[in-house]
Amino acid sequence: MLHDGYDPINLFDLVPALGMRTDRILMHLDTLLDNDTLFQAVKADLARRFPRTLSDGRPSTPVEVILRMLVVKHLYGWSYEQTEQWVSDSLVLRQFCRVYAHRVPDDTTLLRWANLIQPATLHQVLDHVVDLARQRKVTARR
């Protein structure tokens, strides 16, 4: 069954000495990715995996986790395996990807879900994020 996301927890509350230290780009991307239009476009593509993905079956990797892990993968130019490893090891990336204290999806799971996202949806997501980034003066480029 396709889930939208895990119940949110702030990992930095669990480790108070760390505080919310993350880089500026991830903070901006976090607000840009909190967009229902992007979320619903990706969810619609992922829902095509099986006929009853939205209602039956085992709990899936949440849509927001898949979307954010793919953004991190492309942002840093990592392979799927490297993305799994770095998100697993980093509290900042766990928080950004909204994995929280749950198990990070493995590289093959992430690849399988990524292959379901249609090129048109991916371009829509990327164009929307770039437009929002320009409007908020996060970047002047692509």
Residue-wise pLDDT tens digits, 9-59? 877 677 655 555 667 788 888 888 888 888 999 999 999 888 888 888 888
User: Residues 70-77: what's their mean pLDDT?
Assistant: 90
pLDDT score recorded for residue 109: 94
pLDDT score recorded for residue 44: 92
pTM assigned to the model:
0.79
82 has pLDDT over 90: yes
Measured CA to CA in angstroms, residue 11 lies from 16, 32, 71, 132 at distances of 9, 21, 20, 27
86 has pLDDT over 90: yes
